[in-house]
A and B are shown apart, each in its own frame.
Chain A
Amino acid sequence: MAGDDLTTAGESDWPVTNPWPMLGYGLAAGLLAITVSEVLRDNTWPLLRVFLIGTGLIAAGGAVSIRPRSFLVVLLAALTGLFAYLAMSYTDWDSAQLVVGILTTLAFLGALLNGVAYCLGLLFPGNVTKVVFSILFSGVILVHFGGILSAVTSVPPPNGPAPWISDQLWKRVYRPYLQFGHLNNAYHFYSPEPGPPIIIWSLIEYADGSKRWIWIPNRDEEYKDYLQFPDGSKQLIPNSDQIFHDKDPLKQEWYRRLSLTESTNQLQALPMIPQGILQNRILAGRTFPAGAIPLHPYLAESMQFRVPQFISLWMVPSYARHLARNYPHPLDPSIEFKSVKIYRVIHTMLEARQFNRPDLTPTSRVLYFPYYHGEFDKEGKMVKPEDPFLYWLIPIEPVYENPSVPDQPLRIPMMQEPAKLELKGYLDYLTLHSGANVSPWGEDQR
Chain B
Amino acid sequence: MKMTSPPVVDAHENSPLRWLRAWHQFWFAPGDPTTLGLVRICLGMIVLYVHLVYTLDLQEFMGEHAWLDLKLANAFRHDVPWGIMPNSWEERSTYLPEPQDEAEREYVNQYKAQWGTDPRLAYVKGNCNWSLWFHVTDPYWMNVAHFSIIGIMFLFTIGFCTRITSVLTWLSALSYIHRSPTTVFGMDAIMSVMLFYLMIGPSGAALSVDRLISRYWLTWRSLRRHRPAPALRPQPLVMANVALRLLQVHLCIIYFMSGTSKLLGSAWWNGTALWGTLANYEFARMDNPIYMTTLHFLCDNRWLWEIVMTSGVVFTLVLEIGFPFLVWNPRLRGPMVLFAVILHLGIAIFMQLFTFSLIMATLAMSFVPGATVRRLINQLFRGAESFRLSIIGAAPRQLRLASLVHAFDVGEQVEITDAADVVSVEESHPLETAITTKPAVAAQKKPPLQLIDSKGAVFTGYALFERTVRSLRLLWPLALLTWIPGIGGLGRSFFPERSRREMKPARERREAVA
Classify the interface of chain B: helix, strand, loop or mixed. helix
| A residues in contact with B186, CB < 8 Å | 185, 187, 189
| A residues in contact with B60, CB < 8 Å | 322, 326
Whether, in the assembled complex, B85 has its beta carbon less than 8 Å from a beta carbon of chain A, the answer is yes
Task: Identify B305's interface contact among A93, A253, A322, A352, CB under 8 A.
Answer: A352
A40 to chain B, nearest CB (A): 17
CA distance A330 to B273 in the complex (A): 42
Are B218 and A197 neighbours in the complex by a CB distance under 8 Å? no
Whether, in the assembled complex, A124 has its beta carbon less than 8 Å from a beta carbon of chain B, the answer is no
Residue of B nearest to A188 (CB): B261
Are A183 and B196 neighbours in the complex by a CB distance under 8 Å? yes
Are A349 and B281 neighbours in the complex by a CB distance under 8 Å? yes
Whether, in the assembled complex, A408 has its beta carbon less than 8 Å from a beta carbon of chain B, the answer is no
Contact A176 to B128, CB < 8 A, known contacts A5-B235, A195-B276: yes
CA distance A314 to B67 in the complex (A): 12
Task: Identify A219's interface contact among B205, B282, B354, CB under 8 A.
Answer: B282
Are B264 and A158 neighbours in the complex by a CB distance under 8 Å? yes
The B-contacting residues of A in range 366-408, CB under 8 angstroms, are none
Contact A96 to B84, CB < 8 A, known contacts A13-B217, A255-B353, A325-B65: no
Whether, in the assembled complex, B404 has its beta carbon less than 8 Å from a beta carbon of chain A, the answer is no
Chain A 189-200 against B: per-residue CB contact (8 Å), 1 yes, 0 no? 111111111010
The A-contacting residues of B in range 28-51, CB under 8 angstroms, are 28, 30, 49-50
Contact A187 to B254, CB < 8 A, known contacts A194-B276, A256-B57: yes
Whether, in the assembled complex, A81 has its beta carbon less than 8 Å from a beta carbon of chain B, the answer is no
Whether, in the assembled complex, A224 has its beta carbon less than 8 Å from a beta carbon of chain B, the answer is no
CA distance A326 to B63 in the complex (A): 12
Are A134 and B24 neighbours in the complex by a CB distance under 8 Å? yes
Chain A 93-118 against B: per-residue CB contact (8 Å), 1 yes, 0 no? 10110110000000000000000000
Whether, in the assembled complex, A8 has its beta carbon less than 8 Å from a beta carbon of chain B, the answer is yes
Whether, in the assembled complex, B315 has its beta carbon less than 8 Å from a beta carbon of chain A, the answer is no
Task: Identify B279's interface contact among A93, A318, A355, CB under 8 A.
Answer: A355
Are B182 and A259 neighbours in the complex by a CB distance under 8 Å? yes
Whether, in the assembled complex, A180 has its beta carbon less than 8 Å from a beta carbon of chain B, the answer is yes
Chain A 165-184 against B: per-residue CB contact (8 Å), 1 yes, 0 no? 00110011001110111110
CA distance A318 to B182 in the complex (A): 11
| A residues in contact with B221, CB < 8 Å | 11
CA distance A134 to B26 in the complex (A): 12
CA distance A15 to B508 in the complex (A): 38
Task: Identify B135's interface contact among A8, A11, A93, CB under 8 A.
Answer: A93
Whether, in the assembled complex, A145 has its beta carbon less than 8 Å from a beta carbon of chain B, the answer is yes
Interface window among A57-65, A272-280, A297-305, A422-430: A57-65
CA distance A191 to B313 in the complex (A): 12
Whether, in the assembled complex, A36 has its beta carbon less than 8 Å from a beta carbon of chain B, the answer is no
Chain B 216-255 against A: per-residue CB contact (8 Å), 1 yes, 0 no? 0110010000000000000111110010001001100110
Residue of B nearest to A349 (CB): B279
Whether, in the assembled complex, B277 has its beta carbon less than 8 Å from a beta carbon of chain A, the answer is yes
Are A322 and B214 neighbours in the complex by a CB distance under 8 Å? no
Interface residues of A, count at CB 8 A: 98
Whether, in the assembled complex, B481 has its beta carbon less than 8 Å from a beta carbon of chain A, the answer is no
| A residues in contact with B202, CB < 8 Å | 1, 4
CA distance A182 to B56 in the complex (A): 24
Contact A1 to B128, CB < 8 A, known contacts A171-B82, A259-B184: no
Task: Identify A193's interface contact among B128, B266, B299, CB under 8 A.
Answer: B266
Task: Identify B87's interface contact among A168, A177, A187, CB under 8 A.
Answer: A168
Task: Identify A192's interface contact among B65, B124, B261, B305, CB under 8 A.
Answer: B261
Are B123 and A98 neighbours in the complex by a CB distance under 8 Å? no
CA distance A272 to B178 in the complex (A): 36
Are A15 and B189 neighbours in the complex by a CB distance under 8 Å? no
CA distance A98 to B132 in the complex (A): 11
| A residues in contact with B30, CB < 8 Å | 5, 7
Whether, in the assembled complex, A122 has its beta carbon less than 8 Å from a beta carbon of chain B, the answer is no
Are B214 and A352 neighbours in the complex by a CB distance under 8 Å? no
| B residues in contact with A157, CB < 8 Å | 264
Whether, in the assembled complex, B295 has its beta carbon less than 8 Å from a beta carbon of chain A, the answer is yes
Contact A95 to B253, CB < 8 A, known contacts A13-B218, A61-B164, A253-B57: no
B138 to chain A, nearest CB (A): 10
Residue of A nearest to B164 (CB): A61
Whether, in the assembled complex, A252 has its beta carbon less than 8 Å from a beta carbon of chain B, the answer is yes
A419 to chain B, nearest CB (A): 13
Are B262 and A251 neighbours in the complex by a CB distance under 8 Å? no
Whether, in the assembled complex, B426 has its beta carbon less than 8 Å from a beta carbon of chain A, the answer is no
CA distance A196 to B123 in the complex (A): 34
Contact A5 to B280, CB < 8 A, known contacts A62-B161, A93-B135, A171-B123: no
Whether, in the assembled complex, A207 has its beta carbon less than 8 Å from a beta carbon of chain B, the answer is no
Task: Identify B130's interface contact among A95, A148, A356, CB under 8 A.
Answer: A95
CA distance A255 to B359 in the complex (A): 15
CA distance A155 to B261 in the complex (A): 10
| B residues in contact with A232, CB < 8 Å | none
| A residues in contact with B282, CB < 8 Å | 197, 199, 217, 219, 258, 347
Contact A183 to B281, CB < 8 A, known contacts A7-B30, A315-B68: no
CA distance A188 to B256 in the complex (A): 10
Task: Identify A355's interface contact among B174, B184, B188, B295, CB under 8 A.
Answer: B295
CA distance A15 to B216 in the complex (A): 9
Chain B 183-216 against A: per-residue CB contact (8 Å), 1 yes, 0 no? 1111111001100100000101100001001100
Contact A141 to B65, CB < 8 A, known contacts A95-B130, A192-B262, A253-B56: no
Most buried by B among A6, A11, A194: A194
| B residues in contact with A250, CB < 8 Å | 49, 53, 354-355
| B residues in contact with A318, CB < 8 Å | 67-69, 71-72
Residue of B nearest to A357 (CB): B299
Interface residues, chain B, with chain A CB atoms under 8 Å away: 23-24, 27-28, 30, 49-50, 53, 56-57, 60-61, 65-69, 71-72, 75-77, 80, 82, 84-85, 87, 114-117, 123-124, 127-132, 134-135, 161, 163-164, 167-168, 171, 174, 177-178, 182-189, 192-193, 196, 202, 204-205, 210, 213-214, 217-218, 221, 235-239, 242, 246, 249-250, 253-254, 257-258, 261-262, 264-268, 272-273, 275-277, 279-283, 286-287, 295-296, 298-300, 302, 305, 352-355
- 12 residue pairs of the A-B complex, CB under 8 angstroms, read A4-B202, A61-B164, A145-B249, A172-B84, A175-B124, A182-B192, A188-B258, A250-B355, A252-B354, A310-B116, A349-B275, A349-B280
List 5 A-B pairs, minimum CB-CB distance, nearest first: A192-B265, A95-B130, A194-B276, A65-B163, A185-B189
Besides the known contacts A7-B30, A317-B72, A352-B279, 11 further A-B residue pairs in the complex with CB atoms under 8 A apart: A13-B218, A176-B128, A179-B129, A181-B174, A183-B192, A188-B261, A251-B354, A255-B355, A256-B57, A322-B69, A355-B279
